[in-house]
Amino acid sequence: MSSSTLSRGAAKWALLSLAIGSFGIGMTEFVSMGLLPGIAADLLPAAWASSREQAVAQAGLLISVYALGVVIGAPLIAGYAARFARQRALIVLASGLLVGNVLTVLAPTFETVAAARFLAGLPHGAYFGIAALVAADLLGPGLRGQGVAVVMSGLTVANVVGVPLGTWLGQLAGWRVAYAVVVGVFVLAALLIALVVPAMPGDRSRSLRHELGVFRIGQVWLAFAMGAIGFGAFFAIYSYIAPLMTEVAGAPEWAVPLALVAAGLGMTVGNVLGGILADRNLARALVVAFVLLAAGAAVVGVAAATPVTLVASMLLFGAISALASPAVQTRLMDVSGDRPTIAASLNHSGMNVGNSLGAALGGGVIALGWGYVAPAWLGVALALAGVGIVLFSLARERRAVAVTA
């Protein structure tokens, strides 16, 4: 059955199955943040005994390694998969995510866990890119931003339910239990995709070499940079939410999931609004989203002194951070020409460059002794850099249109 003949109810089930896969991705990517102290104590006992700050900063490298897998895997896997049926490609990608998380559960040392996280990250961007194209096709013209938002909704809901639950379970029974739950989510996602997502044929004439030609388009690089630099602001703060909550705000460890739930609720609302704004006026949505992201990071820096104000600020910051994602995804699809598969996956490469950059720079300013609040002010600087990239991209586009006219 093609997407054009799919009933409304069947389309909703197809979108739900895609969102469950993105729920699993959101959980496996973000649950690490709330479990960094436990991971550091288990896998880096000598460093933990010497300096907890240094051990947490070193454990943060697992976040960066996962993100590196996303960055490398997204264009290569998506480009290769463009020639295959999209449903089949999504099943394979969900299965790859499943295997990567099984290895994370079983890996015995810090080095082998790092390798497992890298492997788990490889299918991430390609899954989101192909799922976004399927969702856009299911909803039709004029609703692409909202189609992207539906796929992304699994990611944001993961931050409301999956990440706090995984964090709580990890604190209670060991951090590996959280990743075991993720394995179950991907089993369900793969089964549902096989059952309810329509068979959408790929283009057998496509080659990886042709698809990689998208990197010759300057606007694609600028859209990629929006995510890489701008979203680094979010990840600089979110990666270290556990020590920010316990060491700065003075809350007990059990309160960390409250901050994660607040951020996830905000992201869920922001994602829906971001899809609507992207469909109404894409350029304005991009500018507004990144300006607000800088302001939100500053609010977190000021509000981190007490548990109540920190949780409230994370609710606001989560909502603001999710506004830009549908807009950047749609922008990449707009500027990619006839190579949408890789371009659609690059949003998540960019986000995970931001993930790696934010986690690494955030860990760096903490290791320098600037304190756990320093990543919030780093986030302000990164978000403002994102604003600059957006304005430069739009100005360059206007000049190109004027020259053509």
Q: What is the pLDDT of residue 405?
A: 63
For the chain, domains (ranges, CATH) are 3-404 (1.20.1250.20)
Local confidence pLDDT in tens for the 405 residues of the chain: 444 455 667 777 888 889 999 999 989 988 887 788 889 989 988 888 888 878 887 888 888 888 888 888 888 888 787 778 888 899 999 999 999 999 999 999 999 999 999 999 999 988 988 888 888 777 666 666 666 777 777 877 887 788 888 888 988 888 999 999 999 999 999 999 999 888 777 666 666 777 777 788 888 889 888 888 878 888 889 888 888 888 888 888 878 878 888 888 888 888 888 878 887 888 888 999 999 999 999 999 999 889 999 999 999 999 998 888 888 878 887 887 777 677 777 777 787 788 778 888 888 888 888 888 999 999 999 999 999 999 999 998 888 777 776
Contacts of 220 (CB under 8 A, 6+ apart): 214, 332, 335, 336, 343, 346
Q: What is the pLDDT of residue 136?
A: 75
Name the phi and psi angles at 206, rounded to 5. -70, 145
Q: What is the pLDDT of residue 3?
A: 47
